[in-house]
Amino acid sequence: MNRDWIATARTLSEALPYLQRYTGAVVVVKFGGNAMGDEAAMAEFARDIVLMRQVGMNPVVVHGGGPMINDLLSRLGIKSEFVRGKRVTDKATVEVVEMVLTGLVNKRIVQAIMDEGGRAVGLSGKDDDLMVCVADDPELGFVGKPVEMNVQVLRDLFTAGIIPVVAPVATGMEANETFNVNGDTAAGAIAGALQADRLLLLTDVSGVKNEAGEVMTQLTPDEVRDLTAKGVIAGGMIPKTETALKAIEEGVRAVVILDGRVPNACLLELFTDHGAGSLIRTTEPRVKPRVR
């Protein structure tokens, strides 16, 4: 008998406890980074999301699109300004952001999921007032902080067997306001409002590292705060860990920061002992202790 077939059967058998564990679970996945610009990586990601739905999970995809936004701004001759490393989003910029995220990127992901046999619907935070924002920082213009969430539309899609794909563009408290929302922030807010079982933040790094530069496979919120105070968690990892802590405070059972460049990263994290990144949780045990 072919050894590859035997290995495949063994893998499926070993995944059974995890398949049972996550039946009916809500898993919010923030998709971004280099994988978004690679057709093969996009197809692989879409296949993983379809599989998650097929085995009884309720995945929600929240995406970014920074490189595509930069490209169109450049082609339109709209200059970007930055304050403390963050883009100032004026009226012209937020119009481009909405165009790229809701029109181009969102529909590419929806199509990729459909191509793999899934059912998907693209929407933004503006649809059904899913995400209502106020200005996060007046200096940044139309960069939003979620203050109201209406996730019933996502639950309705779950019931219909449809995978929601959400662009991080939101409405404001005032009429005709549109806000650009950081993708991680939007994913965290959605996960918190849904009381999600897992929030997976896909990045271009392998996870949270300790003082020795080693990836930590599990850590608690207190350990995250300690590493941040010591300056070990720094730079672009800070907003991700801040999102993780806020999501856990809002009721998300665990957050994982994982490397989206790893093939089948979501499946490795959810359905194996090995995992694929840094799991941040309070006291909830895994099905088995994580090994790496």
Q: What is the residue-wise DSSP string for 228-271?
A: HHTTSS-TTHHHHHHHHHHHHHTT-SEEEEEETTSTTHHHHHHH
32-72: pLDDT as tens digits: 866 677 788 899 999 999 999 999 999 999 999 888 888 89
Number of domains making up the chain: 1
Radius of gyration of the chain (CA): 19
pLDDT for 279 beyond 80: yes
CATH number of the domain where residue 147 is located: 3.40.1160.10
CA–CA dist 7, 3 (Å, integer): 6
Q: Provide the pLDDT for residue 204.
A: 84
| Global pTM exceeds 0.75 | yes
Residue-number span of the structural domain to which 189 is assigned: 20-281
Report yes or no on 14 lying in a domain: no
Report yes or no on 39 lying in a domain: yes
Report yes or no on 137 lying in a domain: yes
> What is the Cβ-side half-sphere exposure of residue 153, based on CA atoms within 13 angstroms?
17
